[in-house]
Structure 1
Amino acid sequence: MNATQWVAALPMYNVTPSLEACWRDWLADVLVAAGTAAQVVNVRDELTALWRRDDLLLSQTCGYPLTHGLSDAVQLVATPCFDAPGCDGPNYASAIVTHADAPFSTLESCRGTRAAFNQLDSHSGFNALRHAVAPLAHGGRFFGSAVQTGSHLASLQALAERRADVAAIDCVTFALVRDERPALAQAVKTIGWTSMSPGLPLIASKRVPADRIEALRRALREAIAAQPERARRLRLKGVDVLSMDDYSRITLLENEAVELGYPQLA
């Protein structure tokens, strides 16, 4: 495949247009440092189609899609390490949040309330919350209702507007929202944390050669070090290289919830 035919995109942590431009700037430097040309594309919908493209040089996915179908089409490049509450190296948790003046102080006190989650295939917003709730559920039920919002930002907005009572928010997203959209962050409060698992991995098509993967790994680190102020804004500290075995933690958490009789948020 000719180098000019590759595509790249970082669709996951764009909480504002300005921050999206910052991610694109960092990605452009990664590509230059890797010595690889690629078309940087804007993708907001149909992410699964992007992630399964044969010409995908670099993108970021959630660990749940990775472990539930993507592993036959992609290879792991690296996992970012973020400077954010709830992160530990390449691992992360979700903040369990409610609206700022809610009477709830623990997840258990949220029994019978309205849950919001971003997507059914999200580890941070759905799977991790399901795992946290499972030991508290009775007969497969805990919440009064659960609504899918489409994104972590939409879940936070639902809490702020009192259309929902509790949600689990990817801790990196939440840290970036505090930085970029402080009014929204101040409309909610944290009452707990989910279990940790490996963070959102950077991936490439299995057609990307091994030497180019190594070049990308070097370039990711170089682009973080090249502009410390930009890295601070993106909350990037570095990258680690993990294996699919590391990501099996996500299916382990899912299986533990199912074994406790809690396969859905309900």
Structure 2
Amino acid sequence: MQWIAALPMYNVAPALADDWRAWLDAALARVSGRLIARGDTVRIVDPDADLTAFWLRDDVLLSQTCGYPLLHALNGRVRVVATPDFDASGCEHGGYRSVLVTGAHVEAASLEACRGLRAVYNDDDSNSGMNLFRHAVTPFAANGRFFASVAKSGSHLASLRAIAVDRTADVAAIDCVTLAFVRTHRPELATGIREIGVTASAPALPFIASRRVPPDIVDALAAALSEAIAHDAPLARRLRLKGLLRFTQADYAVIDRYEREAMESGYPRLA
């Protein structure tokens, strides 16, 4: 089998993308003997913009996705390999939150005070940018509405730019790991925002493999990822990784609960 691998989720700057690739390369080197013994090969690739289509490929040995598509478009179609335990504010025991941010020009000091402002989110299948945001807004919505307008940006970086630089939006929910990386690598996007709160917690973005990857290779991949980061402390610090945990898909069910609570409260979409 000719496998492919990619870690596309937190490449907020070229230097950070290089670090993710270095970690992936080191992990794959640790399982290369097992792959060769099977007659398999693996290469690191750069996915196209349609990440869902990439994650659904039968030849994906290792990648990383968001918890929301894991329970929806990818449900039953991929294997969970491991969950990162990040060293960032808002992360505890393999979990993460979204940070509620407004522009520095916005006077609102809380999410409730953002009623009637302009919201922006990264994508419809994002837990951090959409699902957790919707869940946080639900208690304050009336007749299914809270904001004056809601726009989709395509990425957390684009949402931050809309708020901090272009000022075409006022409020968003940003993955706390992304925001930590932004403060280091893209400070121009961090200086124009204010934090006004955090969302509920959910398990961090899982590493996944195709259903065609045998369970013993999945276990080997999880061990290889852990070993590669444990043996390179400087890389671990740059990637903000304390280690990995072996969560299962069932551990991600809270994401569906947040969605269900919003829908049952009459707030099915950001509005």
Give the TM-score normalised by structure 1. Answer: 0.97
Task: Tell me the equivalent position of 1:8.
Answer: 5
Whole-angstrom CA distance in 2 between matches of 1:85 and 1:189? 15
Whole-angstrom CA distance in 1 between matches of 2:257 and 2:31? 35
Whole-angstrom CA distance in 2 between matches of 1:149 and 1:108? 22
How much has 1:226 moved relative to structure 2?
A: 1.6
Q: How does 1:60-209 map to 2 (within 5 A)?
A: 60-160=64-164, 161-209=166-214
Task: Tell me the equivalent position of 2:26.
Answer: 29
Deviations 1:51-102 (A, max 9, x none): 0111110000000001013122101000001000110021110000011232
Structure 1: tracts of 5 or more residues without a match = none
Whole-angstrom CA distance in 1 between matches of 2:95 and 2:217? 25
How much has 1:182 moved relative to structure 2?
A: 1.4
Matched to 1:154, the amino acid is: A
* Cα distance, 1:44–1:83 mapped onto 2, change above 3 Å: farther
How much has 1:146 moved relative to structure 2?
A: 0.2
Deviations 1:148-199 (A, max 9, x none): 0000000000001211000000000000001111121111111010000111
Whole-angstrom CA distance in 2 between matches of 1:223 and 1:187? 36
* Secondary structure of 2:75 counterpart: helix
Match of 1:42 among 40, 43, 46: 46
Whole-angstrom CA distance in 1 between matches of 2:76 and 2:250? 14
* Secondary structure of 2:120 counterpart: strand
Task: Tell me the equivalent position of 2:263.
Answer: 258
Q: Matched residues, percent identical?
A: 55
Match of 1:59 among 40, 60, 63: 63
Are 2:229 and 2:236, in contact at CA under 8 Å, matched by a contact in 1? yes
How much has 1:15 moved relative to structure 2?
A: 0.1
* Secondary structure of 1:167 counterpart: strand
Are 1:52 and 1:73, in contact at CA under 8 Å, matched by a contact in 2? yes
Matched to 1:255, the amino acid is: R
Deviations 1:216-259 (A, max 9, x none): 11101111112111110110110101112111100000000001
Whole-angstrom CA distance in 2 between matches of 1:158 and 1:183? 12
Are 1:96 and 1:193, in contact at CA under 8 Å, matched by a contact in 2? yes
Are 2:48 and 2:54, in contact at CA under 8 Å, matched by a contact in 1? no
Q: How does 1:196-235 map to 2 (within 5 A)?
A: 196-235=201-240
Number of residue pairs the alignment of both structures matches: 263
Q: Report runs of 4+ in structure 1 exceeding 4 Å deviation.
A: none
Task: Tell me the equivalent position of 2:38.
Answer: none
Whole-angstrom CA distance in 2 between matches of 1:260 and 1:238? 37
Matched to 2:150, the amino acid is: A
How much has 1:44 moved relative to structure 2?
A: 4.2
Matched to 1:46, the amino acid is: D
Are 1:77 and 1:203, in contact at CA under 8 Å, matched by a contact in 2? yes
Whole-angstrom CA distance in 2 between matches of 1:168 and 1:218? 32
* Cα distance, 1:44–1:85 mapped onto 2, change above 3 Å: farther
Structure 2: tracts of 5 or more residues without a match = 36-40
Whole-angstrom CA distance in 1 between matches of 2:139 and 2:102? 20
Whole-angstrom CA distance in 2 between matches of 1:215 and 1:257? 38
Whole-angstrom CA distance in 1 between matches of 2:98 and 2:186? 18
2:244 pairs with 1:247: no
* Secondary structure of 1:138 counterpart: coil
